[in-house]
Amino acid sequence: MKLFINGRKDVFEILQQKISTTDKTVWFHCASLGEFEQGVPIMEEIKKLKPDHKIVVSFFSPSGFEIKKNTPLADAVVYLPMDTASNAKKFIAAINPSFALFVKYEFWPNYLLELKKKNIPTLLVSGVFRQNQIFFKSYGSFMRKALGSFDHFFLQDENSETLLKKIGFNNVTISGDTRFDRVSHQIEMDNTLKFAEDFKGNSLCIVCGSTWQEDETVLLDYINSSPENVKFIIAPHKIDTEKIETFTKSIIKKTVLHSSKDDVNISEYSVLIIDCIGLLSKLYSYADIAYVGGAMGKTGLHNILEPATFGVPIVIGKNYNEFPEAIRLQDLAGLYSVNNASDCSEILNKLVTNANFRNKTGMICGHFVNKNTGATQKIANYIRIHF
């Protein structure tokens, strides 16, 4: 909360330093880190299409801003001031964008209405709509009016298209999710991490990414009872020293922290806990099986596409109904959801002991990513034609 409040105090000062009145700009707004990742492939395309434009990225939450405030993709990264008419007017005047892109599901009516008033073209990209949102309620007229600010909606699925058309919006394209494009590029990069290579050796490796306490609770039984040839890399979502220490004490297998890796022979350990950020997408390249956190509790499922692009079978928690990519991948039998520690141990044991099952499940994941790329190009083509 402190970051949320204090971070917004310097917004206009930062913009004044980074953006001049003569600059041409493109504005991306992202709720948090996940939405930023969805925006990345479009930012990369815009740099090619509009090399004379500066990119301004705004975040709503600290988890996105603090990690990406120095990203080389953007010329200015700021918090979005609170959604008031005066803030919207001042912010949009400060950046004066040629066009704006909102990622996934951030809808701030005062900002959207000010963009409309200024005749600034605005797109929603990787959009997702659900029946329970205010736009589809009898009392949602003000928010429906804000949706009228979008020139075009690029949506992830048919359900979102159906919902928008029911309330009179036909300016829609089902483009898919730009995250597929983002993760598909990861496999082409150098994902080498020497310490992970040394740690894994010839063992099977289960990478547990973006885990919360609820996830670690269901994983613990299997970690402690797993065969000798299985190793675990665990990357908690939040680096909380106290919680990591508590979790480490509950593991009976030989465990080492990433921060201590240089002091030991890492190959002798069975569990490696990553107590830093920024390594997970590369770590998935060392996985034979992935557990993706967030869905065992209520914090929200993290990115399953990062491991899927490497052709890795995926296990998640039980609360994933608002994540269409997880539902689709489960239907294809590339992903398995667990309700408790017993379920978790059962599926992990099957994936570990049955190589054919593991390989087939992983292959489904890899094909799923490859089949769903292309959203970025559809959006880029629209920008090329219209802007």
Average pLDDT over residues 118-122: 97
Higher pLDDT, 21 or 364: 364
Q: What is the pLDDT of residue 138?
A: 92
Q: At 5, is the pLDDT very low, low, confident or very high (cuts 50, 70, 90)?
A: low
Cα 280 to Cα 72, 205, 222, 267, 273: the distances in Å are 20, 14, 21, 19, 11
Inform me whether the pLDDT recorded for 4 exceeds 60. no
Cβ of 322: how many Cβ atoms within 10 Å? 13
Q: Using one digit for the tens of pLDDT, what is the confidence trace for 220-232?
A: 999 999 999 999 9
Average pLDDT over residues 366-375: 96
Inform me whether the pLDDT recorded for 271 exceeds 60. yes
Inform me whether the pLDDT recorded for 6 exceeds 70. no
Q: What is the pLDDT of residue 64?
A: 80
Q: At 122, is the pLDDT very low, low, confident or very high (cuts 50, 70, 90)?
A: very high
Average pLDDT over residues 144-156: 96
Q: Using one digit for the tens of pLDDT, what is the confidence trace for 231-255?
A: 999 999 989 999 999 999 999 999 9
Per-chain mean pLDDT for the chain: 94
Inform me whether the pLDDT recorded for 295 exceeds 90. yes
CA pair distance 212, 209, nearest whole angstrom: 9
Question: 246 in helix, strand or coil?
Answer: helix
Average pLDDT over residues 178-203: 94
Q: At 179, is the pLDDT very low, low, confident or very high (cuts 50, 70, 90)?
A: very high
Average pLDDT over residues 84-104: 96
CA pair distance 188, 361, nearest whole angstrom: 22
Q: What is the pLDDT of residue 65?
A: 82
Q: At 1, is the pLDDT very low, low, confident or very high (cuts 50, 70, 90)?
A: low
Q: Using one digit for the tens of pLDDT, what is the confidence trace for 26-70?
A: 999 999 888 999 999 999 999 999 999 999 999 988 878 888 889
Q: What is the pLDDT of residue 96?
A: 95
The amino acid sitting at 355 is: A
- Whether the CB-CB separation of 301 and 326 falls below 8 Å is answered with yes
Inform me whether the pLDDT recorded for 278 exceeds 60. yes
Q: What is the pLDDT of residue 352?
A: 98
% of the chain exceeding 70 in pLDDT: 98
Q: What is the pLDDT of residue 237?
A: 92
CA pair distance 146, 260, nearest whole angstrom: 51
> CA geometry: angle at 87 spanning 387 and 55, to 5°?
35
Continuous segment of H or E residues that includes residue 178: helix 178-186
In terms of C-beta density within 10 A (0-12 exposed, 13-18 middle, 19 or more buried), how is residue 18 classed? middle
Q: Using one digit for the tens of pLDDT, what is the confidence trace for 296-349?
A: 999 899 999 999 999 999 999 999 998 889 999 999 999 999 999 999 999 999
Task: Find, among 21, 106, 22, the residue nearest to 57 by Cα.
Answer: 106
